[in-house]
Amino acid sequence: MQNFDESQALDGLRNLDSQAIGAVYDQYFPAVYRYVRYRLNDEQLAEDIASDVFMRLLEALQSMRGPQTNLKAWLLSTASHIVADHLRRAYRRPTEALSENQLDSAPAPHDEFDRREQARNFRQAYTQLTPEQQHVLALRFGQGFSLEETSSVLKKNVNAVKALQFRALAALQRSIGEVDHE
Amino acid sequence: MNNKLFEALENCLQALEQGQNIDAVLAQYPDLAQQLRPMLEASLQARTMSGEAVPGDVQRRARARLLQRAAEMREAKRAPRRRMIPAFSRLAITLGLAGALFLSSTGLVSASSGALPGDQLYPVKRTWEDVRLLFVFSPQGRDILESQYEQERLDEIDELLVIRRNAPISFSGLVTKQQDGQWLVSGIPVLVTTETRLPATAISNGAPVTVIGMTHADGVVDAQEIRLLAPGVALPPLEPSGDNDQNGENDNENHNFNAAPTPVVISTPDTSASASQEPQKQELNSYEFSGVVESMQGNIWSINGQIVTVDQAQIDGAVKVGVLVKFEGYYDSNGKFIVTKIEVKSGDGDSSKGDQSGSGSSGDNQNMSSNTNDQANANDNTNINSNDNGNENEH
């Protein structure tokens, strides 16, 4: 969207202006949805949680809380918290949630088989990471954020993000290795 | 060493993102290549999982849900804050006068506290109310203050009727009786004529309305317009508190036609809250009502047409539909009435004991408290609510 004025949009949201709400939604919903889907690999949950993020934004602004600037960072950070809550509630049930039908909803052609197998292993490995490691990978590789953008959402300095992503990737490749051997 | 690794990884990631392959990238870090390779391979996998575009139906559904929620929030915001619109239109006067009053220290505000519509100081009084509202930041506190002001409007009109002065007024309340063009709105007698502008929707007993009109020397309000308010708005279904009645007589005796029935009661400032200790909470007055329980659905009950929430209530006695109860509570920021305490006054489910206004009852059986308040027997046709304010409900 061109000429998206975040400050003006925030004012509109505070006034519950439909046009501003629509503009903010159009601008950021895809990113929030993709983020949650990346984290949970569940389309229905992604839809519900991404919607919830925007509801919370409205409520926060109505009660004089909510972001003053950097709306996208606030939305992704809120999404991350909701996902973390969800994962806490679903603790020890994640492997069932990663059922094959989520990844294999369409019949797999032969040349797709390896790719799907790899994707399934990746998913399984990804869920073994800590929420913070999942978060940083979702931002850097799911959203394609730069180091600086990631540090803004995580509210950490750049060096801390470098260390975190290093540990996250190290844990991920270890975990993929373990899954491959199963 | 670690920092060097972190830095090398970041540089490799950036190079991969720019389209270089892993071997070319690692060639720049031969001593770290063994460590970095599996991580870079993992990062490539992580990138391929970034997913596709948001399905159109998902986007439409979520958008509709959000806009619906926004509409609900707008509605909720509008209903209990109906006074805020005129408040804005008076903002300039409000601020100007407030400044002048603070600077001049004339005591004008104090002098205006007893002003009635038509008095010269009345605009000062209303302006000061707006100023106070501007400085109450808690939604709950604001709702309660607004409810107090609505109560004040009822009291002013009550006094105007007593002194038989003609003055333009407007107030909000619950319709408790409609008979031959003579209505009772929160204890105020209102004359509804063919010239009165009414909403297209029929107004039933128990409905919250705003009445705009003139007080008449005959002791009634001559309604020019009656507007229907949204159900559940934060207005006090109260009668005039009777504070203006110097000699303690029943004000309704001065009204032109048989007043009465609001089974309900009174604004009772919550004296338990220490104003000095908790300045914010000094506004959090509670209200006390009595009435007949009409329905009980989970934590949402209907008592004399008033929808209340009882999940925080301390319940004294066995409550069932039809019993007469006394209950206390407050209006929350959404305009809901939150009950804090309920006491059963009569265990009988006989609806004849209560005013069924708003519930579809056809009778004028408004002697709800007559069976329970022995002390009211001294007054032939009037039985007095158990509050100290002298409010009375007639038979």
Tokens representing A144? 């394609």
Same domain, B273 and B238: no
From B171-175, B253-257, B317-321, the region with the lowest mean pLDDT: B253-257
Nearest to B42 among A21, A55, A169 (CB): A169
End-to-end CA distance of chain A: 46
Q: Kindly state the average pLDDT of the residues B35-55.
A: 85
Check pLDDT > 80 for residue B79: no
Under DSSP, is residue B195 helix (H, G, I), strand (E, B) or coil?
Answer: coil
Q: Kindly state the average pLDDT of the residues A127-142.
A: 91
Nearest CA in chain A to B3: A163
Q: Is A117 on the interface with B (CB under 8 A)?
A: no
d(CA B304, CA B318): 18
The CATH class, in words, for A1-94 is mainly alpha
Interface with chain A: mutation pick from B29, B52, B58, B334, highest number of A CBs within 10 Å: B58
d(CA B354, CA B395): 10
What pLDDT score was predicted for residue B241?
55
Same domain, B241 and B303: no
> pLDDT grade, residue B99 (50/70/90)?
low
Q: pLDDT of B113-166, one tens digit each?
A: 778 888 878 888 888 887 777 777 776 677 677 777 777 888 888 888 888 888
Same domain, B274 and B304: yes
Tokens representing B14? 């950036």
Q: Is A44 on the interface with B (CB under 8 A)?
A: no
Global ipTM: 0.80
Tokens representing B376? 């009211």
Q: How far is CA B58 from CA A43, A45, A48, in A?
A: 9, 11, 10
Give Cβ neighbours of residue B203 (< 8 Å, ≥ 6 apart): B175, B178, B209, B226, B228
Nearest CA in chain B to A58: B70
Same domain, B145 and B247: yes
Under DSSP, is residue B192 helix (H, G, I), strand (E, B) or coil?
Answer: coil
Domain chopping of chain A, boundaries: 1-94, 109-182
What pLDDT score was predicted for residue A3?
63
From A32-41, B4-13, B281-290, the region with the lowest mean pLDDT: B281-290
d(CA A168, CA A180): 18
Higher pLDDT, B53 or A148: A148
d(CA B309, CA B331): 10
CATH assignment at residue B177: 2.40.50.140
Q: Kindly state the average pLDDT of the residues B248-271.
A: 38
Q: Kindly state the average pLDDT of the residues B339-343.
A: 87
d(CA A54, CA A22): 11
The verdict on residue B64 lying in a domain is no
In the block, residue with structure tokens 């439409």: B60
What's the topology of domain A109-182? Answer: Arc Repressor Mutant, subunit A (1.10.10)
Chain A residues touching B140 at Cβ < 8 A: none
- List strand residue ranges (DSSP E) for chain A, in order: none
Q: Kindly state the average pLDDT of the residues A137-156.
A: 91
Nearest to B62 among A50, A123, A169 (CB): A50
Nearest CA in chain B to A42: B51
Give the count of alpha carbons within 13 A of B54, CB side only.
26
Q: Does residue B345 contact residue B370 with C-beta atoms inside 8 Å?
A: no
User: Could you give phi then psi for residue B220, rounded to 5 degrees?
Assistant: -135, 165
C-beta atoms surrounding B122 within 10 Å = 16
Chain B residues touching A62 at Cβ < 8 A: 73, 77
Nearest to B39 among A26, A142, A170 (CB): A170
What pLDDT score was predicted for residue B254?
42
What pLDDT score was predicted for residue B341?
87
Q: How far is B116 from chain A (nearest CA, A)?
A: 35
Check pLDDT > 50 for residue A56: yes
Nearest to A141 among B6, B9, B47 (CB): B47
A109-182 shares the fold of A1-94: no
Question: What residue numbers bound the domain in which B33 lies?
Answer: 2-48
What pLDDT score was predicted for residue B147?
72
Which run of H or of E encompasses A175?
A: helix A158-181
The verdict on residue B245 lying in a domain is yes
Q: Does residue A38 contact residue A142 with C-beta atoms inside 8 Å?
A: yes
The verdict on residue B77 lying in a domain is no
Q: Which residues sit opposite B18 in a β-bridge?
A: none
The verdict on residue B224 lying in a domain is yes
Check pLDDT > 50 for residue A97: no
What pLDDT score was predicted for residue A75?
94
Higher pLDDT, A42 or B281: A42
The verdict on residue B201 lying in a domain is yes
What pLDDT score was predicted for residue B373?
36
Q: Does residue B168 contact residue B211 with C-beta atoms inside 8 Å?
A: no
- List strand residue ranges (DSSP E) for B201-336, in order: 208-215, 221-228, 266-268, 286-297, 300-303, 306-309, 314-316, 324-331
Check pLDDT > 90 for residue A53: yes
What pLDDT score was predicted for residue B208?
78
Higher pLDDT, B52 or B101: B52
Same domain, B143 and B291: no
Q: Does residue A57 contact residue B109 with C-beta atoms inside 8 Å?
A: no
Nearest CA in chain A to B16: A141
Q: How many domains does chain B have?
A: 3
Under DSSP, is residue B260 helix (H, G, I), strand (E, B) or coil?
Answer: coil
What pLDDT score was predicted for residue A31?
92
Check pLDDT > 90 for residue A29: yes
Q: Which residues sit opposite A82 in a β-bridge?
A: none
Q: Is A15 on the interface with B (CB under 8 A)?
A: no
Nearest to B51 among A26, A38, A126 (CB): A38
Amino acid symbol at B122: Y
What pLDDT score was predicted for residue A25?
92
The verdict on residue B70 lying in a domain is no
DSSP letters of B21-55?
-HHHHHTT-TTTHHHHHHHHHHHHHHHHTT--PPP
d(CA A55, CA A177): 40
3-state DSSP helix/strand/coil percent for chain B, to nearest 5?
35, 20, 45
C-beta atoms surrounding A41 within 10 Å = 23
> Of the ranges A31-40, A108-117, A170-179, B296-305, which is most confident?
A31-40
Instruction: Kindly tell me the sign of the dihedral angle through the C-alpha atoms of A31, A37, A39, A45.
Output: positive
Same domain, B232 and B275: no
d(CA B20, CA A71): 33
Chain A residues touching B54 at Cβ < 8 A: 29-30, 33-34
Q: Kindly state the average pLDDT of the residues B24-30.
A: 90
Check pLDDT > 60 for residue A133: yes
Under DSSP, is residue B173 helix (H, G, I), strand (E, B) or coil?
Answer: strand
Q: How far is A122 from chain B (nearest CA, A)?
A: 7
Q: Kindly state the average pLDDT of the residues B358-363.
A: 34
How long a stretch of residues is chain A? 182
Task: Kindly report the average pLDDT of chain B as a whole number.
Answer: 69
Last-in-domain residue among B254, B281, B300: B254
Q: How far is B150 from chain A (nearest CA, A)?
A: 25
Same domain, B156 and B38: no
d(CA B44, CA B41): 5
User: Could you give phi then psi for residue B31, rounded to 5 degrees?
Assistant: -75, -20
Tokens representing B61? 């559904």
Contact B9 A162 (CB under 8 A): yes
d(CA B301, CA B268): 22
Contact A169 B67 (CB under 8 A): no
Same domain, B149 and B247: yes
> pLDDT grade, residue A54 (50/70/90)?
very high
Same domain, B165 and B212: yes
d(CA A147, CA B244): 70
What pLDDT score was predicted for residue B362?
33
What pLDDT score was predicted for residue B235?
59
Chain B residues touching A50 at Cβ < 8 A: 62
Q: How far is CA B334 from CA B232, B308, B312, in A?
A: 9, 12, 16
What pLDDT score was predicted for residue B346?
67
Last-in-domain residue among B228, B254, B280: B254
The verdict on residue B54 lying in a domain is no
What pLDDT score was predicted for residue A108?
56
Q: Does residue B108 contact residue B81 with C-beta atoms inside 8 Å?
A: no
Q: Kindly state the average pLDDT of the residues B57-71.
A: 86
Same domain, B341 and B364: yes
3-state DSSP helix/strand/coil percent for chain A, to nearest 5?
75, 0, 25
> pLDDT grade, residue B366 (50/70/90)?
very low
User: Could you give phi then psi for residue B384, rounded to 5 degrees?
Assistant: -100, 135
Same domain, B249 and B289: no
Tokens representing A177? 């290795």
Same domain, B206 and B122: yes
